[in-house]
Chains A and B, each alone.
Chain A
Amino acid sequence: MFHLFKREDKKREQQEELLSAYLDDQLSAEEREDLEAQLADDPAMRIELDALRQTVAMVRDLPVASVPRNLILPQKTEARPQIAPAAPPHSGLPASLMAAATAIAGLLFVIVLARDLLFFTPSFSSFAPAVEAPQEMAISSPDSPELEAGEESIGTPAMSPETAPSSEESAPEERAATIPTTDEQEPANDALTTPGYPTASAPAFAAEEGKEGGAVLTPSPTSRDVGEAAPPPSAQVETEAAKPGVPEEGANASLAWRVLEIGLGLLYLGLALATVWVWRTRR
């Protein structure tokens, strides 16, 4: 029903447009012939046309209104400034300054990106085994009563001169992956059992170096009982990693760098686009 009304309205509009154009002689010869044929057959359409013609005549017949007062301009009327108009809205911001800002932003972005790639990527990979080795995760869970009970026994006795790790590397992950080579002994701790911070190398140690007799690294009750667990890769690593909150700090720092990267990237992009726009509008 609604569509019918709509169709009727549309048809009426089209007819009105044709009649209006017909009055102004704006139809093509073909349209004119068609319309005149319709008018001959349709008395209602002829009435509409006559009413339209009469309306137009009445509007055209309106008297000319005379201006009630003179509209001459005062002598001091100023023409629009003739020289100044070319100044673009951004004229106060030189294009060279924009280009310099863009270059600086780009450089900072590259530096931040490079630093992140060099120093932060490994820390992410260190989280990967947490997924890959659920067994170790389960073992190192603080909820595990065996672990809590075993923590004390893990720390002190396990470090033998033979199993003492190298302390040269700075990145904990790298150090963790290094086979112990020095005799330096430091008190071991339960670093690798810290919740949520298992290292990528932990399973490897358990597998590869368990033969060497270290009982520290793998905190499973089995390994402790047997006394054949793999030795820790580095006591120092364990010390650093054992601090609660270090993983969160690392993650926070990494997130901050990511945010910084994105921010600088967006700034660089925005400045680059603005510079292009400034240069183009200056021409």
Chain B
Amino acid sequence: MNEAKLIESAQHGQVNAFNELVLHYQDQVYNLAYRIMGDPASAADAAQDAFISAYQSIERFRGGSFKSYLMRIVANKCYDELRRRKRRPATSFEDFGDLDKEANPALIDESEGPEDRAERQAMVRLIQAGIETLPPDQRVTLVLREVQGLSYQEIAEAMDAALGTVKSRLARARGKLRDYLRQQGELLPRRYRLEDEE
């Protein structure tokens, strides 16, 4: 895939060229949205909106990492949606689990044995539930860092925030998630529990 050429074609209004980029990045974009939003339907909507926005503003893309450009757009979409929902009650842990199993079969690794799979799913659900307890700004920062692997600088650019703010948000997000996992420790399989003793 010649990314630069596809981008140039898309800048001239060729939807097909842009759709090739969509097919290449849609899993990453969706995964980011999924970890931030917490449910497949909202994540798919956010990802779709992000691609539409990316296409409509692609003429302003002036080189650099196209992946970062997409990630920035989807992170902002999710962030806006989370802030809009702020007053609505969060999805319960049980609801999330049902959605996870039904609508996100990709989380199930067929190579694992049934017991391992169950333990792993429990861990994944608990971590996802913990992420969803975070405020939107901390949640997006954490996911961009830990799930997408962006650098502090890239996160600062994506969220239009200062580097110090990113550091602070990330530290708080990690600390809160750690505390959450400690509180919910009994729900985790033994091998995933946070050890408080050296």
Interface on A for B, CB 8 Å cutoff?
Answer: 13, 16-17, 19-21, 24, 26, 43, 46-47, 50-52, 54-56, 58-60, 62-75, 77-80, 82
Contacts and interface: CB of A to CB of B under 8 A. Distances in A.
Interface of B: 13, 15-16, 18-19, 22-23, 26-27, 29-31, 34-35, 40, 43-44, 47-48, 51-52, 55-59, 103-104, 106-107, 109, 123-124, 127-128, 131, 142, 145-147, 152, 167-168, 170-172, 174-175, 177-178, 181-182, 192, 194-198
B168 A66 contact: no
Contact of B51 (A52, A59, A71): A71
Contacts of A73: 15, 18-19, 22, 51-52, 55
B46 to A, nearest CB: 10
Nearest to A75: B15
A55 B178 contact: yes
A159 B36 CA distance: 99
B109 A66 contact: no
Contacts of A65: 27, 30-31, 34-35, 40, 43, 104, 106-107
Best-surrounded residue of A20, A55, A68 (most CB of chain B within 10 A):
A55
A77 B52 contact: yes
B178 to A, nearest CB: 4
A71 B57 CA distance: 17
Contact of B40 (A13, A56, A68, A74): A68
Contact of B44 (A51, A60, A63, A67): A67
A70 B171 CA distance: 35
A62 B182 CA distance: 18
A54 B194 contact: yes
Given A43-B198, A56-B146, A63-B107, A13 B127 contact: no
SS of B interface (majority): helix
Contacts, number: 135
Most buried by B among A20, A71, A72: A71
B188 to A, nearest CB: 9
B35 A26 contact: no
A55 B56 CA distance: 38
Given A26-B167, A54-B194, A62 B128 contact: yes
Contacts of B104: 65-66, 68
Given A19-B171, A26-B152, A67-B47, A59 B147 contact: yes
24 contacts: A16-B171, A20-B170, A20-B174, A21-B171, A26-B167, A54-B195, A56-B174, A60-B147, A62-B127, A62-B147, A64-B106, A65-B34, A65-B35, A65-B107, A66-B27, A67-B31, A68-B44, A68-B104, A73-B51, A73-B52, A79-B55, A79-B58, A79-B59, A80-B57
B30 A66 contact: yes
Contacts of B146: 56, 59-60
Contacts of A24: 145, 152
Given A59-B127, A67-B30, A71-B48, A52 B22 contact: no
A73 B35 CA distance: 23
B122 to A, nearest CB: 12
A17 B40 CA distance: 32
